[in-house]
Structures are given as C-alpha cells and as structure tokens.
C-alpha cells in the first residue's frame, strides 16, 4: 500500500470516530448540571451533534437549572408579595420564570429537540380538527349536523327584541 491510501483510511476512521463522540459537559458543571446535560445529549444521536450544538446544550442546561431554582424560590415566597408601601403585588419572579421558559423553548428549538411535538400541535389542520371537535361536543342538534355560523348568529338586520333599535330601521312598537 502506498502512504496516501493509509492516510485516507486513517482520516476516514478518525471521521467515523468523531461522529460517534457525544458532546462532553463543561468542566464547571456540578453533578446536577451533568445529569441534565446528559439527558439533553442523549435525546439525539451522536452523529447529529455539531460544534455549536455543544454550546447550546450547555446553555439549555444552565437555563433549566435556573428555572428550577426560581420555581423553588417562588414557591417559598408565594405568588403575591408586598411592595415597599405594603400593597400586594405579583411576585417579580413570575416574570423571570416566564422569561426562562421562553429561553428553554428557544434553545430546544435551536437544538431541534422538540420539533416534532411542536409541529404536530400547531399545524393548521390539527387546529381545525380541534375546533370541529369543540363544535361537535357543544352542539345539541339531534340530527347530528354541525351548526353553521348562519344558524348560530342572527342576521344584523333581524330584530331579536333584546336591544332597542334606533335610526331608519327601528321597529315601531
């Protein structure tokens, strides 16, 4: 064999070996961080992890830990606190928790961890199916037909007798 062929085989073997490696957690992570980081990393195949994904996984781990900590503090403090004048106000931690939730969803989207779940629940077809289910559940028609908007809402020109009508179309009583 020529030396060129050995280099090609070595680089191919190295590329395959690199694909099989999963991202490693940053050194600053403690046991709690490492457990969450490993769950995130195990949610995708090792070959799907690219360079920047490791950073996003570490950021997602830290955000999840922060979210858990804020929830514990909110539970201890309560959802309503008193301001400096003694007036009850919503706890500011609720805003922090909502911001952290948004960050978690954003990072999950970047890592494509929950793409299928979000896509299936927000598809227009699924939304219309849910609306039809609600209409069918609330419908009391004995004939089984789904009521249309024409049968539900009266015409704007019809007199329902509930509101007084003024102007040229007013009905004299």
What is the reported pLDDT for 140?
Answer: 52
| 89 inside domain | yes
| 66 inside domain | yes
Q: Which residues contact 74 (CB under 8 A, 6 or more apart)?
A: 91, 93, 94, 97
Q: How far apart, in whole angstroms, are the C-alpha atoms of residue 15 and residue 89?
A: 57
Whether residue 59 contacts residue 107, with contact meaning beta carbons closer than 8 Å, is answered with yes
| 28 inside domain | yes
In terms of residue numbers, what domain contains 69?
3-117
| 152 inside domain | no
Q: Phi and psi (nearest 5°) for 82?
A: -100, 135
Q: How far apart, in whole angstroms, are the C-alpha atoms of residue 70 and residue 76?
A: 10
Q: How far apart, in whole angstroms, are the C-alpha atoms of residue 56 and residue 68?
A: 18
| 127 inside domain | no
| 150 inside domain | no
What is the reported pLDDT for 58?
Answer: 93
Question: Each residue's pLDDT tens digit in the chain (173 positions)?
Answer: 455 565 666 777 776 666 567 788 888 999 999 999 999 999 888 888 888 899 999 999 999 999 999 999 999 999 999 999 999 999 999 999 999 999 999 999 999 886 544 444 455 666 666 665 655 555 555 555 545 544 555 555 555 566 666 656 555 55
| 142 inside domain | no
Number of folded domains in the chain? 1
CB neighbour class for 110 (10 Å; exposed up to 12, middle 13-18, buried from 19): middle
Please list the helix, strand and coil fractions of the chain in percent, rounded to the nearest 5, in that order: 60, 5, 35
Q: How far apart, in whole angstroms, are the C-alpha atoms of residue 24 and residue 54?
A: 8
What is the reported pLDDT for 4?
Answer: 53
| 147 inside domain | no
What is the reported pLDDT for 135?
Answer: 54
């Amino acid at each position: 064999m020529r030396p060129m062929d050995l280099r090609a085989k070595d680089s191919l073997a190295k590329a395959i070996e690199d694909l099989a490696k999963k991202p490693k957690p940053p050194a600053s992570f403690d046991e709690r961080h490492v457990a969450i980081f490993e769950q995130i990393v195990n949610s995708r195949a090792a070959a799907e992890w690219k360079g920047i994904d490791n950073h996003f996984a570490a950021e997602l781990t830290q955000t999840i830990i922060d979210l858990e900590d804020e929830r514990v503090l909110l539970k201890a403090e309560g959802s309503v606190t008193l301001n400096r004048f003694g007036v009850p106000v919503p706890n500011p931690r609720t805003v922090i928790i909502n911001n952290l939730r948004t960050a978690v969803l954003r990072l999950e989207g970047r890592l494509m961890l929950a793409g299928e779940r979000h896509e299936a629940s927000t598809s227009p077809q699924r939304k219309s199916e849910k609306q039809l289910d609600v209409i069918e559940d609330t419908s009391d028609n004995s004939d089984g037909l789904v009521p249309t908007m024409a049968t539900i809402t009266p015409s704007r020109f019809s007199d329902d007798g509930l509101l007084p009508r003024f102007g040229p179309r007013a009905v004299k009583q």
